[in-house]
Amino acid sequence: MKSLAAVLALSTALTLPGLALARPVTLTTTLNNYGGDGAYLALYVTDAQGAYVGSLWMAGEKSKYYDSLSGWYRMTGGDTRQVDGITGASVGAGRTLEITLDLADALFDAGYTLHVDASVEEMRDSPNEVELPLTAAGASATGSRYIARVSHK
């Protein structure tokens, strides 16, 4: 039941911020200069038990490539409805994606984790490249392949 409440809080905070206690959060993802095409990125949240809560952003608009974001794909069963209306262009090597979203207050300091999967055409996929706790104070982490740094504040 707690997970259902979190899903509702997340979806409500993203679509109807006036109905839930929410705060604006800036998510910044900076990519390494890896020498390839633009990266597809999936930003999503799991609860303290590792269960999928919701998708925050999908960088990359061609859904036929979403299965390469295997952590996100496994969590959602490839359900593209999870990213309807929250997609943008892929992110080029050395570039930065910065998005600001309203996230439910209930997600902070409660064991929720931001995950970022990355995939680049003709290169190895990088599922769950970054895991970052959602904390009221903000947090940052480095990636293992394509992502130089992810932060939220």
**Structure confidence by residue, pLDDT tens digits, 42-71:** 999 999 999 999 999 999 989 999 999 999
Write out pLDDT tens, residues 87-103.
Answer: 999 999 999 999 999 99
* CATH T-level assignment (fold) for domain 2-152: Immunoglobulin-like (2.60.40)
Q: Report pTM.
A: 0.86
Q: Look at residue 64 in the predicted model and tell me its pLDDT.
A: 92
- HEC string of the chain? CHHHHHHHHHHHHHHCHHHCCEEEEEEEEEECCCCCCCEEEEEEEECCCCCEEEEEEEECCCHHHHHHCHHHHHHHCCCHHHHCCCEECCECCCCEEEEEEEEEHHHCCCCCEEEEEEEECCCCCEEEEEEEECCCCCEEECCCCCEEEEEEC
Domain boundaries, the chain: 2-152
